[in-house]
Amino acid sequence: MFDIALVGSGGMMPLAHRHLSSAMLRYEGRMVLIDCGEGTQVSAKQLGWGFKTIDCICLTHFHADHIMGLPGLLLTIGHAGREESLTIIGPVGVARIVQSICIVASDLPFKVNFVEVPPGGFKGFKIPFTSYILSAHPAFHRCPCFAYRIDIERKGKFDAAAAKELGLPVRFWNKLQKGEVVEHESQTFTPDMVMGEQRRGLSMAYCTDSRPPKGLPEFVSGVDLLICEGQYGDPAKLPNAKAYKHMMFSEAATIARAGNVGKMWLTHFSPSLQNPKEYLKNARDIFPKSYVGFDRKTESFVFEED
Ligand SMILES: [Zn+2]
Ligand SMILES: [Zn+2]
């Protein structure tokens, strides 16, 4: 089960009823947080997934509404008893920025490892302690910013008949299933001899803050869930979206359609957008599986039946 929660759904500043944009992912008990604005830990507390197994925090960019919750959150993770190292990923300069704002959160009981995303993004980073494979793609904002994609891969089916035919004793089967090579009676057995083709995994992508970035539909292609910013729903606000490098509902929907994603949740609403549902039609006319995100909106995704 791959659980995804929108911890907050607002942009710029927290509102009484809307925390700042952030997402939390959980699979096999291990968690990743994407962005951490002021108040993120309050909403995460209400979500109730705990803090100790947050293994990685991905930062889209260094605007305050995406990072100022870090000192408090890191302290809370420490209070939850974490001792294993934690990875923080973000644009170039991530260590300097995070260390600067976290000077008020010293003596953490765990080590923080920083990973910089190069300007062109990256693919296939395995997040420590987890099964998540992370990729990053450049967004188009007023400062360096990245969209993230998380994949959970799924191995092929084990072919017991093939293993029997090879004459390999049952006690070695598990090793091959785990991807290990087995040497037995001077013969070499490799996983591909008994494992079927890789099956469809689970995936999600997260994009905020940005004008529609080049190549994003390809980057998010086929994900089960795209969480995408829709700072404005009203078409009259397009000049603002262009000036401040944000997206309209309709632009997010165009990306979701072109990327053929399973569904899309809109997030990062302007404080001026009191009722995003009023404009949902502007997204649904383009991509029918568009939904308005809200704080602690949660969904669980499972592997397809074989
Ligand atoms: Zn923002
Ligand atoms: Zn921003």
Quick: pLDDT tens for 39-69: 999 999 999 999 999 999 999 999 999 999 9
**How is residue 231 written in tokens?**
């700072």
Ligand 1 center to 158 CA (angstroms): 45
Is residue 97 within 8 A of residue 70, CB to CB? The reply is: no
* Cβ within 8 Å of residue 213, ≥6 positions away: 137, 138, 139, 140, 147, 207
Q: What is the largest CA-CA distance in the chain?
A: 74
Question: CA-to-CA distance for 137 and 123, rounded, in angstroms?
Answer: 8
Neighbours of 25 (CB within 10 A): 25
Question: CA-to-CA distance for 139 and 154, rounded, in angstroms?
Answer: 28
SS (H, E, C) 32-83: EEECCCCCHHHHHHHHCCCCCCEEEEECCCCCHHHHCCHHHHHHHHHHCCCC
Ligand 1 center to 63 CA (angstroms): 6
Ligand 2 center to 145 CA (angstroms): 8
Residue in 65, 151, 209, 295 annotated catalytic: 65
Quick: pLDDT tens for 124-150: 999 999 999 999 999 999 999 999 999
Q: How far apart are the first and last CA of the chain?
A: 15
**pLDDT, one tens digit for every residue, the chain (306 residues):** 999 999 999 999 999 999 999 999 999 999 999 999 999 999 999 999 999 999 999 999 999 999 999 999 999 999 999 999 999 999 999 999 999 999 999 899 999 999 999 999 999 999 999 999 999 999 999 999 999 999 999 989 999 899 899 888 999 999 998 889 999 988 999 999 999 888 999 999 999 999 999 999 999 999 999 999 999 999 999 999 999 999 999 999 999 999 999 999 999 999 999 999 999 999 999 999 999 999 999 999 999 886
Question: CA-to-CA distance for 242 and 252, rounded, in angstroms?
Answer: 14
For the entire predicted model, the pTM comes to 0.94
Active site residue 295: no
What's the count of helices (H) and strands (E) in the chain, helices before strands? 10, 16
**To which residue do tokens 């909403």 refer?**
43
For β-strands 187-189 and 199-207, DSSP reports them as unpaired
Question: CA-to-CA distance for 20 and 101, rounded, in angstroms?
Answer: 18
